[in-house]
Amino acid sequence: MVNGEDMLENASDFLESKGISTEDKVVFLDEANKEWLATLQFIREDPNVERVLSQLSGMDYQAVRFSPAAQAHLTAGGVYWVFVDRVSKRVITYIGMR
């Protein structure tokens, strides 16, 4: 099992490699993926959701949320969700919300 610090670092490095700064983000390790599943109810209409769900299908993943500091309690507006494989530590996919 991967520890939380490894997951956070891998998720952060992944976003940085995509040109997304994590410097001003509040990072949340959603250990039981409950926040992600709750958010999913509100973003089902997003065309990228189906892509993300198909990539996560059958995977044992950990959701990591990056939120703007001023909006850390919200689920939209500059929020990125990064999904890390619990075993390999590899980032599976991500989704950003406007």
* pLDDT tens for the chain, residues 1 to 98: 457 888 999 999 999 999 999 988 999 999 899 999 999 888 888 888 999 999 999 999 999 999 987 655 554 568 999 999 999 989 999 998 76
Residue 31 C-beta-side C-alpha neighbours within 13 Å? 4
Res 16: pLDDT: 95
* pTM, 2 dp: 0.87
CB distance 64 to 86 below 8 Å: no
Q: In whole angstroms, what is the distance from residue 91 CA to residue 59 CA?
A: 11
Distances (CA, A) of 23 to 63, 73, 84: 19, 17, 19
Res 45: pLDDT: 82
